[in-house]
Chain A
Amino acid sequence: MREWLSVFRRGLAVDNPLTVLMIGLCATLAVSTKVEGAFFMGMAVIFVLSMSSAIVSTLRSLIPEQVRIPVFIVIIASFVTIVDLTMKAFLPGVYTFLGVWIPLIVVNCVILGRAEAFAYHQPVRLALADGLGMSLGFSLVIVVLAAIRELFGSGEIVFLGIRLIAFPEWYPAPGILLLFPGAFIVFGFIIALAKWYNGRTSTRLVQTDAHCTIEEGGR
């Protein structure tokens, strides 16, 4: 259980896919203009990543090494299409906003990267911990990024048609936050924050690292 938790926690902080590994940034910067979109993007990634990690790990002894990438892609693409169809059917508003970024989860480095680097070599329960941790870490960062950009860039946060928080009328919303430069600036601050946080807890980091090295060396 301790092992499971330590793998799970890595995705949230010390190995966060966005602030530390810095993969899957393209979709992140593009959809983080609205909390609503970012939240459902995070949900989609949580579903796709934990399911594909679990399946890849379950089948790892049956997948020959030379065709592993095509098999991974088919597995990931299936889950992405399931998300795509479901969202189109039940959340048309969110689907219109996310648009092409939902099908593009197939080529999101976070998901293929975790299948290749972790799930293909680890038992199912750890692969699931990694998938959940990584995708939750992804969702956390993308929602925080979107909350900052939407709140300060447009003066209010609207979630599924409900206004959660709003600045008074006179607030001059700087539109740059909603454009790409704003995404990079805010994301830079988030990386700095994550670095500071991970540095502060570095003693724990060394322990988890040693722990996982033994685990990986055992195979």
Chain B
Amino acid sequence: MARRAASTPLNMIGAVLATCLVAATALTLTYEVTRERILEQERAAERSALQAVLPGAEQFEAADELLEPAAEAAGQVPVQAVYRGFDGSGAHAGWGVRVAPRGYGGPVTLVVGLDRDGSVLGVSIVTQNETPGLGTKILTVPGWIDQFVGWESTDIKGSAAGFDAIAGATRSSVAVRNGVTAASQVYTEVLAAESGEEEDGS
């Protein structure tokens, strides 16, 4: 059996340093190789979520300058991103808002698509960590999420009217409702003005 290197300070420092250097090199290489693919996957996931909620739009552009006022308008619900959607001819087709309301098992990230008048075109859940079999019904119950389609920014105002929660998944359902409500608030307070301005300009 080979003799073990003695635990002298020099040996210890040398061993840890050498291991860390080799590890760092290996990780840098892996990172370089996978970086492009990872970015691509993230963009593709974001794009397909946006496309699902804004059927008419083909191009999306992050509107980062609106993020801060949007976050203020949404109050308790964190707003993660605001997108402008453009249709095939380059005309402004609507808005995509990514919000992360609190569900039962952490934030439920959803993308809400709104047309230029602020009515909801579609809602898509991007990530969630709800209880399997109960909270995840917000994903699996067919057609449930479509009840939000057509909600107008004017008739929500935080009320639960016309809102149908899933039995056994109340908190997860309410999370989705809160997300849609927050997106509508963002529209009323920030995006409505933006939609108008663009119309004047064009």
Instruction: Write the residues of chain A forming the contact surface with B, with a CB cutoff of 8 angstroms.
Output: 33, 60-67, 70-71, 74-75, 77-78, 81-82, 85-86, 88-90, 92, 96, 99, 153-154, 173, 175, 178-179, 218-219
- Number of residue pairs spanning A and B whose beta carbons lie under 8 angstroms apart: 78
| CB <8 Å contact, A71 and B27 | no
| CB <8 Å contact, B30 and A85 | yes
| Cβ contact of B133, chosen from A78, A88, A90, A153, cutoff 8 A | A153
Q: A88 contacts which chain B residues (CB < 8 A)?
A: 34, 38, 41
| CB <8 Å contact, B27 and A61 | no
Q: B26 contacts which chain A residues (CB < 8 A)?
A: 78, 82
Assess A92 versus B15: contact at CB under 8 Å? Given A74-B23, A175-B133, A179-B132: no
Q: B31 contacts which chain A residues (CB < 8 A)?
A: 85
| CB <8 Å contact, B19 and A74 | yes
* Cα-based distance from A75 to B38 in the complex (angstroms): 23
| CB <8 Å contact, B15 and A64 | yes
* Cα-based distance from A154 to B137 in the complex (angstroms): 12
Q: A60 contacts which chain B residues (CB < 8 A)?
A: 2, 4
Closest 3 CB pairs of A and B: A175-B133, A89-B37, A61-B2
Assess A65 versus B7: contact at CB under 8 Å? Given A74-B19, A82-B26: yes
Assess A179 versus B133: contact at CB under 8 Å? Given A64-B7, A86-B30, A89-B37: yes
Q: A218 contacts which chain B residues (CB < 8 A)?
A: 1
Interface: B159 (CB within 8 A):
no
| Cβ contact of A85, chosen from B3, B34, B134, cutoff 8 A | B34
Q: A179 contacts which chain B residues (CB < 8 A)?
A: 131-133
Q: A173 contacts which chain B residues (CB < 8 A)?
A: 133
Interface: B45 (CB within 8 A):
yes
| CB <8 Å contact, A64 and B5 | yes
Which B45-86 residues have C-beta < 8 A from chain A?
A: 45
Q: B147 contacts which chain A residues (CB < 8 A)?
A: none
Measured CB to CB, the closest approach of chain A to B52, in angstroms, equals: 16
In the complex, the chain A residue whose C-beta lies closest to that of B11 is: A64
Q: A74 contacts which chain B residues (CB < 8 A)?
A: 16, 19-20, 23
Q: B1 contacts which chain A residues (CB < 8 A)?
A: 218-219
| CB <8 Å contact, A78 and B23 | yes
| CB <8 Å contact, A70 and B23 | no
